[in-house]
Amino acid sequence: MSGTNMTSLMDIIIIAAGVYLLYGWFQLKFENYITPGIMIPKDLDQSKCKDLEGFKSYMGLRTLITGLCSVVSGLLGIISAYVVKINPVIYWVMYFVFFAVLIWYMVASKKAQKNFF
């Protein structure tokens, strides 16, 4: 598999993960449901949440930002590979921002699990 194809595959996976995060945000925001595997581990039961409204306010915006950042980052990679070459500095800055946001989200998720369950 060539470098462009491998990068494009990773971009598609990043977009899919972002869409899944946005789905989790939608469920949290509008259906009061914490999607297992996104904000909490799959083996943790949502009914054990001590403060659902507090959890929603803490994780809602963080999930939305991470999902949007993932989708934008993946789309930027696809556009750069197949439509028009984007300046490599912009491309790498976006990936740095994506990974920084991803780490921020993982830390926040662990903190939310500790504080609300």
Euclidean distance between CA atoms 7 and 86, whole angstroms? 14
Map tokens 């696809």 to a residue.
78
Mean pLDDT of 99-109: 96
Mean pLDDT score of the chain = 91
The predicted pLDDT at position 33 comes to 94
pLDDT band at 3 (very low <50, low <70, confident <90, very high): low
Closest CA to 101 of 71, 62, 74, 56: 62
Give mean pLDDT, residues 15-37. 95
Q: What is the mean pLDDT of residues 26-53?
A: 91
pTM: 0.88
**Mean pLDDT value of segment 22-45:** 92
pLDDT band at 34 (very low <50, low <70, confident <90, very high): very high
Classified as helix, coil or strand, 99 is helix
pLDDT value, residue 2? 56
Residue 1 has pLDDT above 60, yes or no: no
